[in-house]
Structure 1
Amino acid sequence: MVSLTGKAALVTGGSRGIGAAIVLRLASEGASVAFTYSASSEQANRLVDQVAKAGGKAVAIKADAADQEAVREAVRQTAKHFGKIDILVNNAGIIVLGSITEIQEADFQRILSINVHSVFTATQEAVHHMPDGGRILHIGSVNSERMPFVGGSVYALTKGAIFSFTKGLARDLGPRNITVNNIQPGPVDTDANPASGPFAETMLGLMALKRYGKGEEIAGLVSYLAGPEAAYITGASILIDGGFAA
């Protein structure tokens, strides 16, 4: 089923991990997809080629999520390239861990800029280019609802902000039938947090399902919420966490 034919999407932080899985899934559903990346043009170009070989269309745009003007310009480039933005996926994010007495001001400002400010910036710009009935999806975290280990307070703060922003934004954009939803993954097997990494044993001990999630599973939920069957879902924060918060 190709449910997103004719749609244009932008995925921030889309060159690897969960973001790349989302790009691949949206393209496979028929959407034309732009994605931002901050560092490796080689990695981004490989993803563009992978999408093309599968018969899809993707465009890579270099934009550091900590640079708000770069984020805004990436949205404008996407709209100029495709003529519109039907789907925005705010995926870019970082993790900063440490006791509240140890977090440095520069680290605090950077995680706020990427995890919160860039979500606001991309969303504010995108709605100017989004037809009525569009979709805005945030990739939040289960840690907005549960932080069971020491050192995660600042990360949880940023994801809690996205939880609340989702509700308010759904009200703001409801009159235009634009839905806004927040996907909250638990541990997912990525380069940044591998299932064989140093935190894996601790994470698995907190979960009902004793495995890490897959990027493709997160992408499947994104695809559903971006599609026509999810038109009545908005303002929701949906856990996809293997029972981490159960």
Structure 2
Amino acid sequence: MATKVAIVTGGNRGIGFEIVKGLCLKYDGIVYLTARDEDRGKKAVQKLEQMGLKPVFHKLDVTSHKSIEEFAAHIQTNNQGIDILVNNAGILDFDKSVSSYEDSKKLLDTNFYSLLKISDILYPLLLNTARIINLSSDWGLLSNIRKQTWFDILEKDNLSVEEILQFVDDFLQGAKSGKNTFMSFAGHYGDYKVSKVAMSALTFVQQREFLKLGRDISVNCVHPGFVKTDMTKGMGDFSPERGARAPLYLALEAPQSLKGTFVWHDCHQVNWDD
């Protein structure tokens, strides 16, 4: 019988590490802890091994087409496909509430554009009944967008990937224009908000596409709560372990019929566009 496979991107620390740990404890299958930094990834695996758990490490830089392709080749060679994919990798400079164009582009490359690369390269390996969990944020709710034109477009039922890309590009062009345009688009931490709103929107569009293809694959996004991690400089309401609760619910416990939703940290569904 084929062994099931779960993958967590950015799994070496914070919420990602706790998701890997939770999967290792409860999931009957191989759990891949992936990370961009090989040394940090292997140290995270060693830490889990000391707890008696057995994750498998593989280097994965989600911003690199080549790195994702190498990981896909590994999966194709060693496994039957992918059953669970947790898109957790992300960055945020908590010290900069208003970023430069260059910093915003780097953040969006990691937090959003990487999902398109992953979709192209890893999604063809998804098995039927696979589950995709996108780590969004309460900053991924549509209400964070101040530009009414984009608010109206993003809440459409027939939203397209092309329109999401135009939304992100419009923000980046605004970031080039200066701080005032940056702030008028989404306020403080606008680049992070745009990345997570785009991620949320992409979740719903991709779910619709899977349904059109007749594939029983679920794609959901989740707000894990304001979690105390290195990224938030230790500020927050929850521990990383508590932050992993809702992502693990979507990966392991939620009914397969739960598709294309925005799930809150306490596991209840919310309307992302209210």
Same fold at TM > 0.5 = yes
Alignment partner, residue 216 of structure 1? 241
Alignment partner, residue 168 of structure 1? 205
Alignment partner, residue 237 of structure 1? 262
Alignment partner, residue 37 of structure 2? 39
Q: Secondary structure at the match of 1:35?
A: strand
TM superposition shift of 1:122: 1.5
Aligned counterpart for 1:155 among listed residues 175, 187, 192: 192
- TM-score normalised according to structure 2 size: 0.72
TM superposition shift of 1:235: 0.4
Which of these two proteins has the greater Rg computed from alpha carbons? 2
| CA distance in structure 2 between the aligned counterparts of 1:58 and 1:79, rounded to whole angstroms | 18
1:227–1:79 CA distance, 2 compared to 1 (3 A):
farther
Please, which runs of 5 or more residues in structure 1 have no aligned partner?
201-210
**Do structure 1's residue 49 and structure 2's residue 46 form an aligned pair?**
yes
Aligned counterpart for 2:62 among listed residues 60, 65, 68: 65
Of 173-182 and 214-223, more deviation after overlay is shown by 214-223
TM superposition shift of 1:105: 2.7
Of 18-27 and 54-63, more deviation after overlay is shown by 54-63
| CA distance in structure 1 between the aligned counterparts of 2:114 and 2:223, rounded to whole angstroms | 18
Q: Secondary structure at the match of 2:82?
A: coil
| CA distance in structure 2 between the aligned counterparts of 1:108 and 1:194, rounded to whole angstroms | 19
TM superposition shift of 1:130: 1.5
Aligned counterpart for 1:12 among listed residues 9, 12, 17: 9
| CA distance in structure 1 between the aligned counterparts of 2:101 and 2:233, rounded to whole angstroms | 28
For residue 38 of structure 1, what is the amino acid of its counterpart?
R
1:4-43, Cα deviation, whole Å (9 max, x unpaired): x9421111111111111111111111331112212251x3
- TM-score normalised according to structure 1 size: 0.79
**Do structure 1's residue 74 and structure 2's residue 71 form an aligned pair?**
yes
Task: Provide the aligned length of Structure 1 versus Structure 2.
Answer: 221
**Do structure 1's residue 127 and structure 2's residue 123 form an aligned pair?**
yes
RMSD: 2.6
Please, which runs of 5 or more residues in structure 2 have no aligned partner?
146-185, 267-271
Q: Secondary structure at the match of 1:86?
A: strand
TM superposition shift of 1:184: 1.4
| CA distance in structure 1 between the aligned counterparts of 2:77 and 2:20, rounded to whole angstroms | 19
1:96-146, Cα deviation, whole Å (9 max, x unpaired): 4443xxx33321221121111111212332221111000001001111226
| CA distance in structure 2 between the aligned counterparts of 1:172 and 1:36, rounded to whole angstroms | 27
